[in-house]
């Protein structure tokens, strides 16, 4: 695991962080870790939601169009002699 240091935090922020940690039965470090983990998970959830919205838009745009299964495309590519480099 990696250790990080956060410098020049406002005293008020530290005080509120300590209060929050005490309210959650965590140490100051544990509370900071929890906040960082939640922030990253939230960011990933936002990216996932954006991806799912984009996928839905693409599905709507291609509705009613004939689709070729990927295995057919791969087989055709292999039969014509194309190989991945």
| DSSP-assigned states of every residue in 43-64 | HHHHHHHHHHHHHHHHHHHTTT
- Asked if pLDDT for residue 20 goes beyond 70, the answer is yes
- Asked if pLDDT for residue 44 goes beyond 90, the answer is no
- Asked if pLDDT for residue 83 goes beyond 80, the answer is no
pTM, full prediction: 0.54
Q: How confident is the model at residue 85 (pLDDT cuts 50, 70, 90)?
A: low
């Amino acid at each position: 695991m990696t250790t990080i240091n956060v410098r020049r935090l406002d005293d008020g922020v530290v005080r509120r962080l300590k209060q929050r940690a005490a309210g959650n039965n965590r140490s100051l470090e544990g509370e900071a870790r929890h906040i960082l983990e939640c922030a990253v998970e939230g960011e990933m959830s936002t990216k996932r939601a954006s991806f799912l919205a984009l996928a839905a838009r693409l599905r709507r745009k291609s509705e009613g169009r004939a689709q070729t299964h990927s295995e057919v495309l791969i087989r055709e590519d292999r039969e014509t002699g194309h190989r991945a480099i």
